[in-house]
Each structure stands twice: as C-alpha cells, then as structure tokens.
Chain A
Amino acid sequence: MAWGPGLLRLHVVSELLIAMACFLVSIALLRVARQRQGFRYNGVLLCFAACGVAFGATHATAALELWHPLNWVSYGIEATTAAISLLTLVVLVRIMPKVFAIPDELADHRFRELLENAPDAVMQVDSQGTIVIANRTAERMFGYSHEELVGSNIDLLVPQAGRDAHSALRSQFMQSGVPRLMHEREIALHGLHKDETEFPVEIGLNPVKTEAGVYVSAIIRDVTDRKQLERELERERELRVQRVEVLARLAADLAHEIKNPLAIIHARACDLNELTTHTEMLPAVEVAKTCDSIVKTTERALRVIRSVEALAHEGSNDPMQKANVRGLIEQSVELLRMRYETHGIALETEIADELPMVECREVQIEQILINLLTNAFDAIDGSENNMRWVKVRAGMRPAAVQSAGSEAVRIEVVDGGPGVTAENRGRLMETFFTTKPRGSGIGIGLSVSRTIAEDHGGTLELLDSDGPTCFRLTLPVLALHTEGGPK
C-alpha cells in the first residue's frame, strides 16, 4: 500500500490524538487517586495511569518515526509498555475478588435507607465532637434539618446542665475505645430538642477507628414513653400498697367493731350460764332481758358486717369508664332530692361549664357523693339553729396545683350545718368513727369513700376552714394512664 499525503496526515493526527488522550486519561486517573478518599484501590489506578503514559508514549513515537527513525527509543518504549501492561493485568486480577465485593449502588442505597429510618437516632461524631453522620430519625428526634446537624458540635443536643459532664465523658470514652452504654448514674441522660424541651434518652456508643482518626457512632433512643410507663407502673404499685394499708386499717377497725358486740354477747351468755348453776328456778324476767340483749347485739354485729360487704364490693369490679361529672352529680342529687325537700333543706348545684369527662367507676363515685350528701343532711337535720342548705360545687383543680397530664376535677359538698369540732376533725375518716347517735350510723361511709377516691388516684378531704363544712373530692381526669406522647 502506498502512503499518500492524505493518508499520512490522517495517521499522524490520529497517533498524536491517541497519545494526548492517553496522557489526559492518566492525569485524570492520578487526580482520582489523589482526591478520592476512602478508595482502597489506588494501586490499580496508578497502574492504569502508568499504562496510559506508556500507551501515549508508544503512539507519540509512532507518529514521530515518520520523520526520524527512533528504532531503539521506540522499541524500548514498547517493551516498557508491555511490562507495565502485564503488571497492570496482574494487579487487576489480584484485586478482582475485592472489587466484586464492593456493594453496588443499589445495595448501598438500601443500606442508607435502613439507617435513615432506623427507630433510633444514629449519629457519628469525630474526635472533636463534630457531627459527621446523622440519620433522619436524629433529625426528627431533635427537630433540626440535616444541614443544621452535620457540621455542628454534638453539644448542641445536650442540655446545658449536662454539657461539661458530657464533654468529659466523651474524651474519656475516646481514650478507652471500648463500646458501651452510657449510664444514667454518670450523667442525667437527656436530649435537648431544638424547641428547648428536654427528653430522656438512652445512648449506645461505639468507637470507629479509621485512617482519618477515631469516630464515635452513637445510637440514641428516645425513652419518653418508657419512662412514662415506668412512672405509671410505680404509681400503680404505690396505689396498691396504699390500698393494702387502707384494707389493713379497715380490717383492724372491723375487728374492733365486731369485738364489742361479741364481748356483750359473751358476757350475757356467761351470766346466763352462771344463773343456771346457782338457782333452780330461773328468774324469767332476767333471762328474757339477757336473751333480748343477745339477739339485739347479734343483729348489730351482723349489720356491721353487711354494710362493709355492701360498701366494699359495690361497683369495685366495674371497668373504669369516661363519665360526665355533671351527670354523676345530678344523678346523686336526684336520689336524695325528695328527702331534702320533705325536711325543708335546700339542695343546690353549681357546676362549671365544659368540665372534661372523668375516667372512673360511676357507681363508686355516686356512692361517695350520696354518702357526702347523706352526711350533710344528717348534720343539718340533727341539730337546731342551722342554715338549712347544701351545695354541690364542681370545677377544675386550679392550674397552679397541677402539672400537665395531671388535670383533676374537684367536687365539693358544702353544708350550712354546725361544722365538725376540732377533736373530731382528725378522726372523721377513721372507719367506724361516727358522731351520729349509736344505731343511726355505723361510721364506715367516709372511710370507704376515701378508699374509693384513693383507688381512683384521687383524694377525699375535709377542708380546714372556719366557714361552712366542705368535703372535697378530687378526681384525676385520667385514672391511671396519663397522656404525654413523644416529642
């Protein structure tokens, strides 16, 4: 084939372009090797770059040879190219398994999603405490955007009070380098939300050693809900203990109240027994009187037992249900209205609007109200010169004495009766303590009422004031399960 000038030009230009491209590819590869961090296969990049230089040189000499024969130089370059190519082949073959192990982009994406949507916040900080990784859960948990988090110091998320202790712990951890849980006893574990609220957290730490230094991976769990549950459990346990105490008191009181009638019956029976041993003819009047006393006293003891049974069991197995306070009051008032009216005692209600529904056992709360209304009635009707009125008031407990989630409703029964004397005040809630004449009341109403109130997580108290007698029933809006979700 003859070399025409056109063909020759095409050959030279092509060779030079190939050479230039090869050199540029080498430069590009070198830049990648220098600037791409975390790429473990720079060796093979360097080999490819060397190949590029060698190929470039081969093609350049091929173009130049048209003018100057460069036999030794050109064959030397070809030999070098061959050597570098072979070396590259060896390197490539050797790292091939490792290259296959590099996750593909799709898998990487899946892994990122897994991390981003983990139930816990996942973050990584460098040795200075600067956040380098934060997943979406972390953004949500602390209320910051991804841009705000990455690059900020981790102290941003630690409440002011714990910052010094936290820094000290962090450097201590960096030195020890052992994965562990951060303990509550070392530092109050709270996270600081962007809106300045604090929430309890649990933190797991893991050191990550890299060529660029030590990083710390932190898994942070918001334990607001769990803490809340723990508090509820604790409260429930306390209530149970309290209930056992109340029951123990009730049992002791009951024993006392039964032992008195028993003592009478026992004594009367002993007397009868003695009478039979001493005289042949029993004095009929004496015997009749004694037997009558035994029968009456037995009935009294029975009444005590029956009333305890009735009061202690009624409604106690009902489930807690949301109930309308107004409805509860009106129902109880209705039951007693006739009795009040026939005795000329005014009975009024004063119920605040828009009271929340209260979680309770309706029957039991009505029982308390009926008990209080009956007591007020007896107090007024039992003595002269009284203001003959009773008022039932209901409203929210003032915000000053309640925290969020502990809203409570107050129901007060106020009467114009003679009031409770100072010495009776302290004992009024005792089981079987009564100021009513013997036989008309056995005195378990108030103490059982209080037990019921306490069982609901509320209280029943006699207000300490010089004014009219006022019994106050306080009932939490939510019986035991207080609200307050995660932030």
Chain B
Amino acid sequence: MKIEESCILVVDDELELLEIFSTWLGRAGCRVITAPNGAEALKVLREEKIDVLISDMRMPIMDGATLVRNLRQMDVPQPKVIFVSGFGNVSRREIFGMGVEALLDKPLGRANLIRALEQCLTDNEQRWSKPSPEPMAQRVSLELKSLEEATATSAFNLGRGGCCIVVDTPLKEEETVDLSVRFAREGLHIEAQGTVVWFDDKQNRAGVAFEYLQPECRQWVLRKIAELNPKSFVTQC
C-alpha cells in the first residue's frame, strides 16, 4: 500500500507530540486520526478502517499494551502496530509477541517515523527482496533436524515478520545478524538478514526480525507464514 492511501491512527497523551506527528504524517500524504489514550483509540478502531496504529505505551486511562490486547480481541480488520515510547512496563519480547511490528524510541525524528511506516505498509515479499549493503554485525548458523521438531522444541519458531531462535553466543538488541538455518529433513536452507529485536540472556533465546531473505527460501517462508498465520510478529517462544 502506498503511504498516500493509508489511514493512520496516532495515540499519545502528550497533545503537542500528537500534533507534531499528525503534521508530519499529513505532510507525507496520509489520512491521520488522533486519540489521547487507549480507550479513545478503541472507539476510533471500532468505526474506522485503520491501516497502521502508531501508539505511545504509557498513557492514562488505557496504556498501549492494553489497547493492542483489546484490539486483538476485536472483530475488525487488524491494523499493523508501531509503538513509540521512552519507557514501557511491558518487555520487548511481549511487545513483538503481541504482533507489534516496530518499537521506536523517543525522541524520534520525522525520517525514522516515515521509514517505519513505509516498511509497515510494504508487503513482506517486497520488504524482504532488498539486501542490506552494510555487512551484518553478527552471524548465526543453526543446523536443525526438521521444522516440525524445531517448532515443537521451540528451537525455531516462525512469526509474521521474523523468528525466535536459540543461540550459543549472546546477541545484543538492535544488532544486525546474518542468519542461516538448515532443516535436514526438508532439505531447506533459510538464509536471511535480520535485526535482533529482543534477547533473553538467561535462556539464550533471541527474537530476530527479517530484513532480507535469499530468493531460494523467500517463497517457502512466505507460504509457511500464510499457512501458520501466526499472531505474533516475532514469536515469544
């Protein structure tokens, strides 16, 4: 979807920020609706078809996490969600687990907001076709027996926009990573570039959002996602 055709709902209790964000988005051509808290946002979501929800996390009356949990229960076309926050009482792992696609920190520049929005509006196939010109900071290789077994043992879980994996060496959040996963039984090899969105140093588990997928595995991953239809963006495991 083109950004000019999209309808965006922005939620923040900081009215001045709300005004700034809607000016930015309006200038980019979006239709913008604003709400000062989660409860007001839910009212809008019931009546309007929203493509992307951009929400603060900490707000009076209803916070961002509660808003998204409520939204997931509702029988409406589900918008993509971007969280903008300086602080959250919910872990990053949970945030991506509830299907949030991006977590942006305050203060936040216009370019970053628009880039995140554009990425949200781009479909997965297109999104994962452009390799990054920069080298990745880390490399992770996994040799697994089969997807079925890996899913059952939580060694590899696929979400709508990435996966949860178990690693030997610790990773850092926001770090870029070259990911190579081989499934022996299927004879399948996923080769991807991604970003670590969360890391649990006790379980050595990491959530990785895909940024690029090699053409050989891209269709397979897209089919698998369509088949599994996971709620989470990156699974919590």
Contacts and interface: CB of A to CB of B under 8 A. Distances in A.
B108 interface: yes
Nearest to A265: B107
Contacts of B87: 252-253, 255-256, 259
Contacts of A293: 16
A270 B108 CA distance: 10
Contacts of A259: 86-87, 105-107
Contacts of B109: 266-267, 270
A190 to B, nearest CB: 41
A256 B86 CA distance: 5
A267 B60 contact: no
Nearest to A421: B61
* Chain A facing B: main interface SS: helix
A25 interface: no
A260 interface: yes
Contact of A266 (B14, B24, B58, B108): B108
Nearest to B110: A270
B20 interface: yes
Contacts of B217: none
Given A259-B86, A260-B14, A260-B86, A267 B61 contact: no
Interface residues of A, number: 23
Nearest to A264: B16
B206 to A, nearest CB: 24
Interface string A247-285: 000001101101110111111101100100000000000
A297 interface: yes
Nearest to B60: A433
A147 interface: no
A263 B58 contact: no
**Chain B interface, >50% SS class:** loop
A384 interface: no
Contact of A267 (B58, B85, B86, B110): B110
Interface in B71-101: 85-87
B198 to A, nearest CB: 18
Nearest to A443: B60
Given A255-B86, A259-B87, A260-B14, A268 B58 contact: no
Contacts of A274: 110
A319 B87 CA distance: 36
B61 A260 contact: no
A354 interface: no
A341 interface: no
Given A259-B86, A259-B87, A270-B110, A264 B14 contact: yes
A344 B85 CA distance: 42
B212 to A, nearest CB: 29
Interface in A214-266: 252-253, 255-256, 258-260, 262-266
A423 interface: yes
A259 B17 CA distance: 11
Counting chain B CB atoms within 10 Å of each CB, the highest count among A253, A260, A266, A427 belongs to A260
A263 B56 CA distance: 12
Among A258, A267, A423, find the residue whose CB has the most chain B CB atoms closer than 10 A: A267
Interface of B: 14, 16-17, 20, 24, 58, 60-61, 85-87, 105-110
